[in-house]
Structure formats: C-alpha cells, structure tokens
Amino acid sequence: MKATCLRTEGKGQTAIVATAKHVNRNRCRKGEWAKSKGCTWKTNTFRPLRESIVERTRCRVADVESADGGSTSDEKPYAEVEIDCEADPTYTVISIKASNRPGLLSTMTKTFRDLGLDVNKAVLDSSNGVAVDTFYVLDSSGSKITSDRDVRNIKSYIMTFLANVPAAGRMERPALAFLKQAEEGTADERRKSQLLYNLMDTYTKNDVLSIQESIVHHVEYTLGRSRYRFDNFEAYQATALAVRDRLIEVFNDTQHHFFESDPKRVYYLSMEFLMGRSLLNSLYNLSLKDEFEQALRELGYDLETVVEQERDAALGNGGLGRLAACFLDSMATLNLPAGGYGMRYQYGMFRQVLQEGFQHEQPDYWLTFGNPWEIQRMNVAHPVKFYGHVSVHEEDGRQVFRWNAGETIEAVAYDNPVPGYNTDNTINLRLWSGKPDHEFDLESFNTGDYVSAILAKQRAETISSVLYPDDRTYEGKELRLRQQHFMVSASLQDMLRRFKSQHGSNFDLLPEKVALQLNDTHPTIGVPELMRLLMDENGLGWTKSWELATKIFSFTNHTVLPEALERWPVSLIERLLPRHMQIIYDINWRFLQSIKEKVDNETLGRLSIIEDSPYDGEKFVRMAYLAMVASHTVNGVAAIHSELIKETIFADFYKIWPEKFQNKTNGVTQRRWLAFCNPKLRTIISETLGTEEWITNLDLLNGLREHADDPELQRKWQEVKQHNKAKLAELVQKTTGISLPTNAMYDIQVKRIHEYKRQLLNILSVIDRYARIRGMSEEEKKNVVPRVVIIGGKAAPGYDAAKRIIKLVSAVGDRVNNDPAVGDLLKVVFIPDYNVSLAETIIPGSELSQHISTAGTEASGTSNMKFAMNGSLIIGTMDGANVEIAEEIGEENMFIFGVRAHEVPHLRASRGEFQTPDRFNEAVSMISRGEFGWSDFFQPLVDNISGSADFYLLANDFLSYLEAQEKVDDAYRDQARWTKMSILSTAGSGKFSSDRTIQQYAKEIWGICPCCLKDA
C-alpha cells in the first residue's frame, strides 16, 4: 500500500507536518535560542545545534530507559536510514525503512521539526509489517543539505529515535474496523484511512513535559492568553482542556468499539445528573493525578488551588441526581456498554444564599465561563414537537395518525465523557439543550417586529434554562412537563437513529440491543413517545410497538410517599402533547381490558392510569402507574423500601404482577466518595490491606475488621480524622465566618431540607442540649462532650416549612455561638449552598452523621453510605438503607432509635392521645416564647408538631433520640472504642458500592455484558 502526500497549494507544507507559518515561527525561536548561545543561526550554528540535539536525545533516551528499567521489548526494532542529496535536483531525499509500529509517523514528524527541516513531499508505503517511507526535505534556509557532517548528524538523530519508538508513556490505539473496511475500497480510500490512522496511532504522552506542553498549548491557542502570564482560573481551564484531550481519545475509541462490537446497550434516562467537579475525578480515574500535580507545580501553580476554580455542574438537586452520577461512574469502570441522557440546564436549580438566616435563591450561573468538559455536537440535533393537533389519514389500507405540531424545538447534543477507573473505557453522558428550529426570523426583524423575531429563540432556550421550575403555577407545571418531554423525545430519537444505523428497520432486534432505564417517574412520558416514534414515524402497528416498548423499559421508583408520585392534568397533556394523550388513553384502555376478569371494579378503578379527582372531577395521568404498566421490571432502592411499595403505593399492581418487582439497594462510588475525597484514609486502608484493589472491589474492606483493635491503626485513623476535621473547620470559617474548635465531636446532617428528613428533630435536641449546658455548674461542664453541629441543605423555593427550618437553625446558632456560658461546648452552623464539592470536605471530616427520617418515609438514602465508608458513625432510625447498613456494620456500631415502620400508621392514628415528653415540650416552648427571636415566624413550625398535627412523629421519637445521643457521648469519651467502631463502619461498607448495584442491574434487569476497549 502506497500513499503520496503532496504539498498543500500555497502552504508550502504537507498534511503531515506544520504549516509554513508554524515553521517560520519555529525558525525565529531557534534563531533566538542560537543567539543566546553566542551563535549566528544562518551560518555556523546549524551543525552545533544538530549535534546538541543528538546529544540531548541520547541523554533523554538513556533517562527514559533508566526510569523504565530498560527497554520494554527484548527484540530491538528494525530500522534503516538513507540520506541522498543527489537523487532529486531540488530536495534532499531521506528514505526510512523500519518496523511499522505505533508512533512511527508522529515520531518522524517531530524529528524533522526538531531538526528544522521542512518536509515538502512524502511517499508512505508499508507492507508485511515494514514501513518504507520517503521524505523530500529542505533545511531551514530553504536549501538542500550539502554538508557531510550535517548528513551524519541527521542520520544519527533519526536512528536514535527510531530505536526507541514508541516512546515512554505512549500506547497503541486500536486499529478500528474502518481500516479493515478501507482495504476493500479504492486505493485513495486505503491511502486516506492509513494516513489518518498513522497520524494518531498512539495516545497522547503523559510524562510531565508533555502534560506541560498540553497545558501551555491551550493557554496560548485555545484561551488566547500569554503563556507567560495566566491566572489560576485560566490555569484550570487549560488543565481541564489538557485532560479532556486525553479523555476524548479513549472516549472516541470506546464509542467506536461499542459500534463495532454491537452489544446490547443500556441508556439511563434521568432529569438529574449531579456530577460535581470533574477535574480531580478525571485525573484520579486516568491515574494522572501525580503527573499533572507535578506539571502544574513546575509551572508555578498548585493543583489544589486550580481544582477550586471549577464550578460544580448544576445538573441536579439531591440524591436522585447524585445516584445517577455514581451509576455512570460504575458503568464506565465495569466496562458496560452504557450511557446517560439528561438535560443541559443553563442555570441549574439555584444558588442558596443566607441573609440574616433566611434562604434566598439566586441563579446558579455555572455556565457563565463555559464548560471545558463538554463537547458540543452541532451535527447531532433532533426536532421535538409541542402543541398543535392530530389528524387521521388512510395510507395503504391502514389508519395513520399525524401530529401537526404547533411548535418545534431543536434539541442539540452536548457530550460529556465519563471515564472509568483503571480502564480505558469512557462512556457518554449526552445532555440536550434547546435551540429554535430556525435561528432568527430576519423578515420580522427587518419589518420592525423585533419582539416576534426573538421570541421563538427565547422560548426554545427557556426549555433547558432552569432545573425544576417552580410548579406551583400552571405555567410552571407546563414548563416542567415540556422539559421532561424534550429530554426523552430527543434521547429516544437519538437511540433509534443509532439502532437504525446498524440494523435498519429490523425492529425485532430492538430488545436484544437496547435497554431503557427510567430513573423515577420524570422520564415516563417517554413511554407514549416511543410508541409514537415506532407507530407514526416508523410504520409499526400498535401490537408490535407495545411488545417492543414493554421489553426495553424498566422503572426505578424512589419514593414511598403517595403525594410524591407524579401526576399531570389530562387537560395539560392534551394541550401540550395531544398525540401522547391519545396513546395514554389507549394504553390504559387495553391494560384495564386485560385485567378486568382478574379484579373487581373498585380495584380496577384504583389501577387505572387515568385518575378522576373526587373533588372537582378533573382527570390526572398517574405517571408512576404508566411506568408500572409499560415496564418489564420495577425496582425499589432498599430492601425495606422494596417491601413497603408492595404493601402500600403499588399493592394492587403487586397482586397481579409479583414477578415484575425487584430490589436494587442503592450504592455510591467508593472512588469519589472515599479514595479520592479522603486520600489520607485511602493510604491507611491500602497499607493495612496490602492492596488498592478495594477501589474496584469494595468487599475487600472487610479485611479491616481483624485490625480494628490494633492501637497503631487506631492512632493513624485518629490522625487522619483530625486532619480532615481541620480542613472542614477551615471550610466553615471561609463560608460562614464561624470559627470552630477541632477538639469537639463533629456532628453532621447535610441533605435536602424536608419535614420527613426531620432536621427539626435535630435542632430540637440541640435546644435541649443548650438548655442543659446553661443549667450546669462549671464542674459539671467538665464532663460535657464538646460538640459542633453542622446542618446544610436546600429548601425548595415553594416549600415554606423547610425555609422556616433553615431560619430556625440559623437563629439557634446565633444564640448558642455567642453565649459565653456555653463557649466551645456547643456550636451550631448552617452551611449554605450545600453541593458535591462541599460534601467532599464535609463527609471525611464528620464523626457522627444523622439520618433520622421517620421510619417508612426514606426510600434509601445514599449520604448514609458515604458517611459510613469514611468512618463516620451513624445515629439514625431503621429507615431506608439504614436497615441494611445496620446488618452489615452491626447495630452495636451505630446508634439506632425510634419507632419502626410497621408502628407508624397506628401511632399517627392515635397522635391526639399521645402525651408529649416534658423535655420535648420545653424545647418547643423555648421557640414559642422567643428565646431565639422570631417567635411569630416560627409558630407554624410549632403548630406542625403539636398534637395530632405531628405527622412525622417528632414527639414520639424524641426521648429515644435523646437516649441515643447520650450513648453517642459515652462512646466518644472512650476514644479507643469510638475509633474501633469507626474502623468497623468502614469495614462493613463493602455492600454499598454502586459497582455492586450496577452489576445487579446489568445481570438481573438489563441483560447486558461488559464490552472492554482493551479487548479491541
């Protein structure tokens, strides 16, 4: 196979090497370098320079071999070099015959550039594993090379490099199928394919110098800044882009490998992906953290400072979005053919600011300075329809429905590579952004109708502007439903495009190639949308379309609260998505017909997807029921949760379809939430276990149990915890201005503010503790365990009670923190704008974490798993994943309190007769009588926990909670006992890896297998 690369017209360069502009710039710089050495570039410095290059090269090769412990191969690569100054009248001809191996062409390109040689023509040939390449070159003055000494130096230099290809740190990229396909094409196609592969046949080098070159390259060429002067934020941007370069290589190869292997893929549909910062996570997953840290340090920058410049990606709110992010990490690490689909929110949820203790919501402008991690795919866009009407037509003897949309918005793709740990596999999170289907109505603008000209553009972009718009109004509900349909429609069109590119219209293969996971009810509108796409756009009948849909959809439920199950007014769907409402009615009718012989009429009404309101007759679509009917599998997210949904919200469905129900207890990625955010603890764990394999096999943490009593391990464990507490105290000082003692117990509750999560119970116990300390003598105070209570989380903008709780925490903190009678025995802090990055400091510094929801209300929870992994002891109820954590860690290593889930219904029914404890009454009374100010503002909170209004049973659990707190103090006084419990907490966390969860999903629900790039 022969390829000829001719000079590009007017450029004076081939496609292989730099343009003339770059060559001239190189000449100028080399001339300056020569002058600094006391030489004149155009006369007598050519030979000394080349000689010095050869010498430096020999040293560099020797250093590499020394660092690597010698050559990586026992067989010396074959290489011959001939330089002929007579064969061509214009050029010096350099002929190279060498073993054809990765990096050969790029090495030769760099070699000629280093020597200041311009390649004006190249003839590339290879066969039987041998490359025979001929290069026609001129020296830096545009002349042939005539000096024998120059010829010898050039030949020596080239031979030195050829003997060491590939260089250290470079790996061969897989030769993908397009190369094999090109062999069957024309000579030009073969030549083009081989050249394109050879130009980038190895991965980017990861030695410190190469990393520095990448960073500085982006400073100058991407950011347009001077490489001599750029600030920390610009250093972050350039570093992120340098990391992204490396991600894109493995990302592209992974996607090509998936395409060629054609495995069954899973697509995870979620309205939230709370990814957190990407820089440090990517560096750790790529095993490049140390190299980038050194590279930045030598450039004069600190990696920790650079990392702090990154804004958290505001693509989620709480546990639902963070779970999705953990799942993507595990999918990539487990080499699964998978990907995520979501929304590219421009502003995210909101930025929480406290002013005088009140929550204020500000837009989270996280994309103000762009997102260096994303790849905009302007060539990947799908039309998403809204409004309009449906018409019916006859085509080929069958009835065809045509949706005549009143509005169309383009969904444009933004790809976000997600790397796995200790693998080349890098999967995709594809996010959709709204754009108008036509960019600008110039005619309206020119005729003076400026508003109409820009209205369509603004309306289209609004759809992806804000995460979770306030849905208290009709307009808010409409926007939220628009967002959900926008995301799933674009995603399903994209999935079908990919499927059809490989399998055409053979839709029988769809269930063998595609699995769709609905992350809660938000993407459920995708069920009628897939039906529409299959029937209306691809000509399938109802029966076939429904058969396919029910084989590829599966549904994860995340709640046990009936009021949390999403419902949409039929009138809204009819107006916004008229074709979908028709399909939903049809799904419901066919479903009810299929079961009417099995159940009575009352049960039939309860099972209906369409709900008739008993108050005003308005009809609603129950989205969870739609997902239930359409999915082949429905799972809960903790053992207790999965049992509760069978008995409560989905009891009727369980009776007719018990085989559909599964449990998949949630998990978190131990990489971000232990190995990366707590590096000092990682070191201790790895030293104790003698391996780092626990980072991908968390069950190995169980090996810590046998060392839990080791005094030396306990000492090291305590030192790490103290270090992490100091970092947390520094964070609190920076964000709130409150100075915290580090010799106190750090007691943390950080999560979304909600009445069922019972932050109010926590602050009532703090008020009780405060009152008791104030009543103590100085002698009695000596026995008090000092405690720092940190609470954080956001309240939904329309959630009045949650906002009042935040103000109460702040008011109690103001009083307690400034009371000299208490001093450092008790501190109370509300930390604002809680997010992933804050959690990465808070969780390692925590000693006690609170997970105290009313039993039977928390589906799972995942923050409890993160805290337990980091050795923070849990005080909590037997709710959600706490039940399974207790089984793994042991109740003796936790502080369990409160009523059990089966007791809750009876206790709620008899709340009116319950005698509230005196200590509870006193704590509530202190709020009512204005001990913390704002008594009128807090009165609704008091009313909500008084008498029968105490729905979440704070009074019932109060004394049990205080007893558990006393046990906490007793254990903390004995630091050896406390540290042992902490070690055992980490040791028992193996089950709670998202790797385990995803393996179960893959095997038991999705039916997919690993597809590893390394096998390509």
Active-site residue numbers? Answer: 558, 751-752, 757, 862, 866
Pick from 441, 448, 451, 551: nearest CA to 507 = 551
Dist CA 488 CA 524 (whole Å)? 8
Beta strands in 778-856 (DSSP E): 787-792, 826-831, 848-851
Q: Which long-range contacts (CB under 8 A, 24 or more apart) does 922-927 make?
A: 922/768, 922/771, 923/764, 923/765, 923/767, 923/768, 923/771, 924/764, 926/767, 926/771, 927/767, 927/808
Q: Tokens in use for 921?
A: 């009454």
Pick from 657, 557, 551: nearest CA to 599 = 657
Pick from 851, 878, 824: nearest CA to 761 = 851
Show Cβ contacts of residue 239 under 8 Å, excluding neighbours closer than 6 positions.
215, 279, 292, 296, 306
Show Cβ contacts of residue 329 under 8 Å, excluding neighbours closer than 6 positions.
285, 418, 420, 421, 669, 671, 672, 994
Beta strands in 420-465 (DSSP E): 426-436
Which helix H or strand E contains 442, and what residues bound it?
helix 442-446
Q: Where are the alpha helices (DSSP H) in 596-678?
A: 601-607, 623-630, 639-647, 651-656, 670
Contact 427, 254 (CB under 8 A): yes
Pick from 113, 98, 108, 257: nearest CA to 175 = 257
- Give the orientation angle of helix 954-973 with respect to helix 975-987, to 10 degrees: 110
Dist CA 499 CA 870 (whole Å)? 42
Contact 675, 700 (CB under 8 A): no
**Largest distance between two CA atoms of the chain:** 109
Which helix H or strand E contains 215, and what residues bound it?
helix 208-217
By the 10 Å C-beta count (0-12 exposed, 13-18 middle, 19+ buried), 783 is classed as exposed
Do the bridges between strand 407-419 and strand 375-386 make them parallel or antiparallel, or are there none, so unpaired? antiparallel
Pick from 248, 254, 422, 258: nearest CA to 333 = 422
Q: How far, CA to CA in Å, does 833 sit from each of 263, 383, 740, 795?
A: 41, 36, 19, 10
**What totals of helices (H) and strands (E) does the chain contain, helices first?**
39, 27
Dist CA 322 CA 327 (whole Å)? 9
Contact 276, 840 (CB under 8 A): yes
